[in-house]
Amino acid sequence: MRTPLARLLALPNIGPLIAITVAVVFFAARSDRFLTGANFSLIVQQVMVVGTLAIGQTLIILTAGIDLSNGAVMALGNIAVTKLAVDAGLPVPVAIVLALGLTAGFGAVNGLLVSVLRLPPFIVTLGVYGVAFALTHIYSQEQTVSGLPRAMTLLDKTFPLGGTDITYGSVVMLALFAAAWYVLRLTMAGRHVYAVGNNPEAARLAGIDTRRVLLGVYTTAGLLYGIAALLLVARTGVGDPNAGQSDNLDSITAVVLGGTSLFGGRGSVIGTLLGALIVGIIRNGLQLIGVPSIYQTLITGILVIAAVAVDRLNRGRQR
């Protein structure tokens, strides 16, 4: 019979919640600027791009895959939408649709190679990372795109909520998390994603078209990377070919810290949101108390290793 503590620790997302609580208490005691509405709004703004990437990463990791290309695909979408609007002079809605189609297309390529040719996701997405990275720098000619139309930065505009200014981009990210939660938890398509990640052969024998599920997951993830590119453009006000160079690792970090298993079939996007907030809170808090940025990377790395180790031990006990 399990103890009350063991039952508490077995609750979904309790680990990330405890981590956030400890971090908030610690930084609140060290800095009087931490527990303010403006600072929490800033934290959400700082994680909204990686958080959106992490939604797509969660979908892929739930199928026991991984995507190393998402930051590079986002950067390509970032450059594509800005150059189409500025250099080609296309209307902003048309530029956005074309850029989203481009990133979704890269996701579909990943999905086809993984589902049809059955290539390892790590190798496929590593190769696509190189292709997207090179195309971004070739297309941009290593130049930042500025002078964007006002409509392209609307998501960085704010509205007041309880005395705190909230950006529309933050609302978009939270809405995407809510939509992903609904699909994964309350639809047949979501149950198929978990089934494929848990045991693809059993899912196939149960009548699930595993290839179509994988293709759909990777394509949807690519579309989300395009939305992340739009959020990045709104936040920075430029098209930057060097954007997102470490965001693939940051998105994996958010997913792992949120409790999603790297072995597939277990986890949630709510946990991913909490994982992204953990990273954002730690980085923000350390900056406020004057800790050098290198220690942010050190602490985040330790947390990732600990989270993966705990996941591995839990799966061992379940067997």
* Structure-token pair, residue 110: 């990943």
pLDDT for the residue numbered 162: 79
pLDDT band at 10 (very low <50, low <70, confident <90, very high): low
Indicate if the pLDDT at residue 74 is higher than 70.
yes
Residue that is written with structure tokens 């956005």 in the block: 96
Q: Please give the pLDDT value at position 314.
A: 65
Whole-structure pTM value: 0.94
185, 267 in Cβ contact below 8 A? no
Backbone conformation region of residue 238, classed left if phi is above 0, alpha if psi is from -120 to 50, else beta: beta
- Looking at the predicted structure, is the pLDDT value of residue 91 above 60? yes
| Average pLDDT of span 288-301 | 85
Please say if the pLDDT value at position 257 is more than 60: yes
| Section 73-87 average pLDDT | 97
Mean pLDDT value across the chain: 91
List, for residues 94-128, the tens digit of each pLDDT value. 999 999 999 999 999 999 999 999 999 999 999 99
- Tell me what pLDDT residue 297 has: 81
Domains and CATH numbers, the chain: 13-312 (1.10.3470)
Q: Which long-range contacts (CB under 8 A, 24 or more apart) does 82-87 make?
A: 82/145, 82/148, 82/152, 82/233, 82/238, 82/239, 83/139, 83/140, 83/145, 83/239, 85/148, 85/149, 85/152, 86/145, 86/146, 86/147, 86/148, 86/149, 86/239, 87/145
% of the chain residues with pLDDT over 90: 77
Please say whether the beta carbons of 101 and 252 come within 8 A. no
> Tell me: the pLDDT tens digits for 170-179?
999 999 999 9
